[in-house]
Structure 1
């Protein structure tokens, strides 16, 4: 079986290399914005979308122009990939319009946007794992923190900056043995109910306490943001204050990423089948403020709930479980969410009054009592078994779903690197 996997490392460039990377990233931003302005002008004039091939020819003209001679200093492949990014953004826009979804029109990149360089050809770079260094076009050899081995044949490299540091992620390709599908037995199947008071409650009664990474740093982040708002925008002091804010956001994201990877890895290794709720996190975390004609109710309470939901990382938790279970020969089953916390696992009685409080479940029919989150996880597991057996959710509400093995979603190196650090 062919596996694409990405490995991300921190770069340790010298001053000259760091300045060159910023210049190259600025050239990519310039090409993207120039191409976007040309596309918009052509659209307003009634013309059709200009394809990548025609844009690549214009890039050659821009590189040879006396007005922009500095574009020749940057490697050509990252510039070409900036045009591919624009083409992908336009295709996403057109597909959203066609599907009736809220379209996201491509926007110009600001100077302070995230710097990124993509090298799509393996002939352009070289990774020396023995000495912990990587060679990139027009940058030369650079040291990196070799925290793990790079497995497989390198396919492409993405260089990016975050929180004042530079990273590179290399996507590799290698042949692996197809995972042996493990038998789904009672001791290897588990249901998971995610929440806020408890991050993940399992059907066997155990649970994982939430990390709440954002909540831990919220006071300090608010103080740094207040300090930044009092500085003159784009001044040196403002930039220093912004760096402090970015560092806090980086620590929050890194802590959450580490927490999710460790827990999803442990779950995927110890269980052959995992049943989870098919949560629509985007809908759950929508704002309740409404508009002028129909203002929302309890807006501040809903804003606090939204912040707590997004702090948990439920979607990322499910996504990591998806590909890790696939790699280990397991199965991820997503079941509908309705009535999981109101159904008695002992007698099957469904009633809103069964859930006495946020934490207590007490059946009105048979008197069964347990933690409400544990009951939800037990019902999720039961539905997962019914999905596998007959494709039904077992709720009796007429909704059906299908079970299938977890799918591996192959993504570009810069997207997949963050999910594979602890895989």
Structure 2
């Protein structure tokens, strides 16, 4: 099955400068292609990848800087743009700005990449026009077929991500058949399970939090495009990168633990993107141009807490590792899971005494952690959904895999416009 392998790149100064140039040209091609698509849509017409790829060839004759970078990277940028416009709509695709978009480009022809092992820690790969690029071999690539390579900058460091086919398949049965667990994601505790486990971790230390506040205060007093501002932004990016890496590590380890121990994992179907939207302003009808208090400060704090726990990242990690263990991942509606008693099934918001305490006012059972009680309700709902699916699906009908097939440029060109 398809999987990703990410390694830290050791660029030379010339290679790092050329990689920045490739990323800048790819960003320019993306923005130009998006502007062209939007202009066509305003006139009621369409333009697809095939037409834009032909126009890119003509543009190379007029602009020499387009010829300096690998053509595959520019074509892949147009392919990604075509897929984004098909999936989200032309006017919902974002521009790639120099401030918010880190340089990134992809080499799609993985079969033509030569990977060599230099020593125990260092490997190298030959990329078009970049030459041999060294990277830290934190894991072996032996026996895996490389499909593509993506070079990206994360903070002040460069990384290469290989899309590989590891020749593994999803097992038909889990090692622990019949086991199941419910998972409740929260703000105070990142993950609570129906077994009573409370899994959490602090991704930012108190010292890092204080340093972030100091740097943000200094940043507000610096002049735009100054060297001091660039230096402070780099320091902030380093702190946020460390926090993100800790969060990703926590989500991956927690998902690995739950998937290997349970044949079914049930969690709430939370719409994280909608839940973390900013509060809408409320206009004052008596004073035009003025606005009423809408709790935007509290909502912003809640949004930071939700995003800081990595709810969606945990969902992605769990889905990925479930392919290797044969774990069934089930989503259930989140309505009333935190207000329902897991024993008598009575629903009452008064039973939730506080954020961490649940005491049912109907059956008067002993108090329990509120997140654990919610996880038990989630598990019960998931088992009911699983039983209904198994009863409705005949034994002779195979379950379709949820993994998307590997695509390439030729397959994309055959898609209808």
Taking structure 2 as the reference length, the TM-score comes to: 0.85
What is aligned with 1:332? 329
Which aligned runs of 4 or more in structure 1 are off by greater than 6 angstroms?
410-413
Aligned length: 389
TM-superposed deviation, 1:184: 7.0
CA-based RMSD:
2.7
Distance 1:184 1:387 in 2: 20
Taking structure 1 as the reference length, the TM-score comes to: 0.84
TM-superposed deviation, 1:93: 4.3
Aligned residues of 2:339 and 2:349 also touching (Cα < 8 A):
yes
What is aligned with 1:395? none
Distance 2:401 2:341 in 1: 29
What is aligned with 2:106? 118
Q: Within 5 Å, give how 1:138-153 maps onto structure 2.
A: 138-150=129-141, 152-153=144-145
Of residues 61, 80, 83, the one that matches 2:75 is: 80
What is aligned with 1:273? 264
Aligned residues of 2:268 and 2:333 also touching (Cα < 8 A):
yes
Distance 2:81 2:322 in 1: 34
What is aligned with 1:306? 303
Moved more, 268-277 or 282-291: 282-291
What is aligned with 2:89? 94
Distance 2:260 2:239 in 1: 32
1:300-333 CA distance string (max 9 Å, x none)? 2222112111110112112211231232011111
Q: Classify the secondary structure of the residue corresponding to 2:277.
A: coil
1:273-321 CA distance string (max 9 Å, x none)? 1111112222322223433257453332222112111110112112211
What is aligned with 1:287? 278
Q: Within 5 Å, give how 1:342-361 maps onto structure 2.
A: 342-361=339-358
Distance 2:206 2:281 in 1: 26
What is aligned with 1:254? 245
Distance 1:169 1:278 in 2: 29
What is aligned with 2:395? none
Q: Classify the secondary structure of the residue corresponding to 1:175.
A: coil
Distance 1:141 1:355 in 2: 60
TM-superposed deviation, 1:29: 2.2
Matched, 1:222 2:213: yes
TM-superposed deviation, 1:78: 0.5
Of residues 19, 22, 26, the one that matches 2:20 is: 22
Structure 1: where are the runs of 5+ without partners?
96-102, 393-403, 414-423
TM-superposed deviation, 1:106: 4.3
TM-superposed deviation, 1:351: 1.8
Distance 2:186 2:32 in 1: 46
